[in-house]
């Protein structure tokens, strides 16, 4: 109990424990979901006494809100930064994807929680979830609104829906990763996946050769119809 309190006064302890619990909560949360995540599990996972969880977190909801916010705020901040950094639609979309895939590379567990659990579950903090998810969508949607104004976006597309679709593709791209490898993700595969997500979103999955032929043979390009 007092072994490590020597050389630095007694500093590292406070924050450590709380962080340990938070990490444990992410772990359990990722595996069992919100309702299935019991305080006892978190305490066991963190190798911490049952009651200690209640020292650092008022109750279960606050704990899971913390799990959520801890990851989400960083994520949203990075997202805004990526959007601000980029000039063109391509840069911005790429930047958003970069943030998401990088977050996944750093901590797949946390991403699973944020993306798969928290952002969906109707039980997680009611308003918070909705707000959180909508916040992301709003950030993305702005990118597409700008792109539409700048003529970069197909004029017949709804920017807000674009935000949903892009985010859906991103999420599923990550899900594909999550379902594939259970351990450390392969950096090469990650990079390739990210590229495909971005490019297919911007330019579609169709082979331009094939699309060109098809167009020549009578059927006008779908895109051209709306030009």
Partner DNA sequence: CATGAATGAGTCTTCATTCAT
Partner DNA sequence: CATGAATGAAGACTCATTCAT
Binding letters toward a copy of itself, positions 163-182, x by CB under 8 A: -xxxxxxxxxx-xx--x---
Rounded to the nearest 10°, the torsion over CA 163, 164, 165, 167 is: 80
CA 3-7-10 angle, to 5 degrees, is 70
Closest by CA to 45, choosing from 67, 24, 20, 30, is: 24
Q: Is 191 in the site for a copy of itself (CB under 8 A)?
A: no
C-beta of 204: minimal distance to a copy of itself in Å?
A: 4
- Return the number of the residue (18 or 120) whose C-beta is nearest a copy of itself: 120
Does position 97 bind a copy of itself by CB under 8 A? no
Exactly one of 14, 35, 59, 77 binds a copy of itself (CB under 8 A); that residue is 35
Query: Is there binding between residue 152 and a copy of itself (CB under 8 A)?
Result: yes
Task: Enumerate residues 35-54 that contact DNA by CB under 7 A.
Answer: 37-40, 48-52, 54
Residues 61-80 close enough to bind DNA by CB under 7 A: 61
CA distances from 116 to 41, 107, 109, 167, 182 (A): 20, 14, 10, 12, 15
What gap in Å lies between CA 171 and CA 179, rounded to an integer?
12
Going 74 to 44 to 127 to 144, the CA torsion angle's sign is positive
Where does this chain touch a copy of itself (CB under 8 A) — which range of 3-11, 38-46, 69-77, 207-215? 207-215
Q: Is 224 a binder of a copy of itself (CB under 8 A)?
A: yes
State yes or no: residue 56 binds a copy of itself (CB under 8 A).
no
Return the DSSP state at 205.
S
Q: How many residues does the chain have?
A: 227
- Tell me which residue has tokens 């674009």: 162
Stretch that binds a copy of itself, among 10-18, 19-27, 47-55, 190-198 (CB under 8 A): 190-198
Segment near a copy of itself (CB under 8 A), from 29-37, 40-48, 63-71, 95-103?
Answer: 29-37
C-beta of 198: minimal distance to a copy of itself in Å? Answer: 9
Tokens 């590292």 -> residue: 12
Cβ contacts of 52 within 8 Å, gap of 6 or more: 17, 21, 43
3-class secondary structure per residue, 4-40 = CCCCCCCCHHHHHHHHHHHHHHHHHHHHHHHHHCCHH
Question: Contact residues for DNA (CB under 7 A)?
Answer: 1, 9-10, 13-14, 17, 37-40, 48-52, 54-56, 58-61
Question: Contact residues for a copy of itself (CB under 8 A)?
Answer: 31-36, 89-90, 116-117, 120-123, 130, 134, 144, 151-158, 160-162, 164-173, 175-176, 179, 192-193, 196-197, 199-211, 221-224, 227
């Amino acid at each position: 109990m007092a072994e490590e309190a020597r050389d630095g006064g007694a500093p590292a302890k406070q924050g450590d424990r709380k962080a340990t619990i938070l990490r444990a909560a992410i772990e359990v949360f990722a595996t069992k979901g919100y309702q299935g995540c019991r305080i006892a599990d978190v305490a066991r996972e963190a190798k911490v006494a049952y009651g200690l969880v209640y020292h650092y977190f008022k109750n279960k909801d606050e704990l899971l809100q913390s799990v959520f916010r801890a990851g989400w705020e960083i994520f949203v901040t990075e997202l805004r930064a990526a959007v601000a950094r980029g000039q063109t639609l391509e840069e911005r979309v790429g930047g958003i994807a970069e943030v998401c895939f990088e977050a996944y590379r750093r901590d797949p567990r946390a991403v699973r929680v944020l993306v798969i659990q928290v952002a969906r579950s109707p039980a997680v903090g009611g308003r918070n979830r909705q707000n959180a998810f909508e916040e992301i969508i709003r950030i993305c949607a702005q990118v597409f609104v700008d792109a539409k104004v700048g003529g970069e976006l197909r004029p017949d597309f709804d920017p807000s829906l674009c935000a949903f679709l892009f985010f859906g593709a991103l999420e599923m791209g990550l899900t594909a990763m999550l379902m594939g490898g259970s351990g450390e993700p392969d950096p090469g595969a990650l990079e390739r996946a990210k590229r495909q997500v971005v490019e297919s979103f911007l330019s579609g999955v169709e082979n331009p050769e094939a699309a060109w032929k098809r167009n020549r043979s009578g059927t006008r390009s779908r895109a051209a119809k709306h030009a």
